Chain A
Amino acid sequence: MNLEDYRTVFAVSGLILILVASAPTLSLVLPLSGGECFSELWILGPNHMAEDYPFNVVNDTVYNVFLGIGNHMGSSAYYMVYVKFRNQSEPLSNATAGMPSLLSPLYECRVFLRDGKTWEAPLTFSFSGVSFFENQSFVESLVINDVVFSVGKLALWDGGNNGFYYQVFVELWIYNAGFDAFEFHNRFVGIWLNMTGV
């Protein structure tokens, strides 16, 4: 190596050291792109596991599941969870179009969650005023976390799957400070229920 080569090595080493020394300041001044921003929404069974979900349901029996949210939005978030109830023919939320279900929410939860944190709460539900008539079943009211909601929901017999099917599902909404309003966060999850008896 001649002197010029050594000079280059010195210059490059010096530059690298300068970059290393100024990295703390650069990290404070330059905005670093974080990871992907998203939120999680889940329903777990009564044992906090993704199993043993209630499926065959009857009148006046309490069922337990757990509802959870995870915040990975890069900052604290203000969430609203809507619990809705539908039969097979009623519309579900559309994830592709980013549209929520048109059904009115029954129960709601509001959660303020820090970035990287999760929230979980029990969701108990039961049915009352269940009746069957020929090929249809009728649910008069749904009790969610001890609050009674008059639903008056009818389900027709599903011959293919042998049952009267209903669905309890939850939608995740998030507060948009820019619009000063909640917007559908394009997350929803639900459990199918087969009404089997009174």
Chain B
Amino acid sequence: MVYCLSVKKVGGISMVKCRSFICFVVFILVFSWFAHACFAVEKADAEEALIDAENILSSVYVAVLEVEKSGGNVSGLLVKLDSGGNFLVEAQMCYRNGDFVGAVYYADLSVRNVTGLVEEAGQLEALAVGGCNERLFQTMAASGLAVGVVVLGSVVGWRIFKRRYFEKVLKMKPEVVTGES
């Protein structure tokens, strides 16, 4: 009886141990599975963040180019773009070294640095276009006035010159040349 009890006890302990071991193995397997899934998501997140940052930076650059074409001053925008680019470089470095958290962090910083620049660029472009139109109008008006003055001056000048020329010609006395038939 005692023997049986002890066997049962021993058996119970071994069962518990066995269950614990199985639980441990299952836990390890599940953990490794989820850990892998977690890291995979992190890498995918990093890739997505990098692509997003890259696209945003490019779109801001295109907007800045438009402002520049319109004659706007883009110095301030380029400085902000530059710092955004530097953060993106940091993000790329982190990604290449397997630091996906760092990559996401720097990619976000890059995006935050250039957020609102497209709107700012749009405002600058509108200002530049307005200024450009005004300059064009002023230049055209000045040129038109100058051309008008030149044409008028030429016509009047020519008439005055022609009258004086004729007066000069009419005042000339005919000269008789001797010795000719």
Asked whether, in the complex, the Cβ of A177 is within 8 Å of the Cβ of B78, the reply is: no
CB <8 Å contact, B139 and A28: yes
Q: How far is the CB of A185 from chain B (nearest CB, A)?
A: 15
* Residues A22 and B143 in contact, CB atoms below 8 Å apart: yes
Cα distance A107–B92 in the bound complex, in angstroms: 9
Q: Which of A24, A109, A114, A177 contacts B142 (CB 8 A)?
A: A24
Task: Please determine whether B143 and A13 come into contact, CB atoms closer than 8 angstroms.
Answer: no
B88 contacts A by Cβ under 8 Å: yes
Q: Which of B81, B86, B146, B158 contacts A7 (CB 8 A)?
A: B158
Contact B88 A18 (CB under 8 A): no
Q: For residue B89, which residues in chain A have a CB less than 8 angstroms away from its CB?
A: 108-110
Chain B residues with Cβ under 8 A from A3's Cβ?
Answer: 162, 165
Q: Which residues of B contact A23 (CB under 8 A)?
A: 143
Residues of A near B162 (CB, < 8 A) are 3
Q: How many residues of B contact A (CB 8 A)?
A: 38
Quick check: B140 and A18 within 8 Å, CB to CB?
no
The interface residues of chain B lying within 8 Å CB-to-CB of A63 are none
Determine whether B45 belongs to the interface, using a CB cutoff of 8 Å to chain A: no
Task: Indicate whether A108 sits within 8 Å of B82 (C-beta atoms), given known contacts A17-B154, A21-B150.
Answer: no
Report whether A10 and B157 are in contact in the complex, using a CB–CB cutoff of 8 Å. yes
Q: Are B69 and A114 touching (Cβ within 8 A)?
A: no
Q: Which of B68, B74, B154 contacts A13 (CB 8 A)?
A: B154
A136 within 8 A of B: no
Asked if A38 lies at the interface with its beta carbon under 8 angstroms from chain B, I say no
Of the listed stretches B2-10, B19-27, B28-36, B58-66, chain A binds B58-66
Asked if B154 contacts A114 (CB within 8 A), the reply is: no
With A10-B157, A114-B78 as contacts: A25 and B143 at CB distance below 8 Å: yes
Question: Is B75 at the interface (CB under 8 A from chain A)?
Answer: yes
- Chain B interface (Cβ within 8 Å of chain A)? 57-58, 61-62, 64-65, 68-69, 74-75, 78, 81-82, 85-86, 88-89, 92-93, 97, 135-136, 139-140, 142-144, 146-147, 149-151, 154, 157-158, 161-162, 165
**CB within 8 Å of B: which residues of A?**
3, 6-7, 10, 13-14, 17-18, 21-25, 28, 75-76, 78, 107-114, 147-148, 175, 177, 180
In the complex, besides A25-B136, A76-B64, A110-B85, 6 extra interface pairs with C-beta distance below 8 angstroms are A10-B154, A13-B154, A21-B150, A113-B78, A175-B58, A180-B58
Shortest Cβ-Cβ A-B pairs, 6 listed: A110-B85, A21-B146, A14-B154, A25-B143, A17-B150, A112-B81
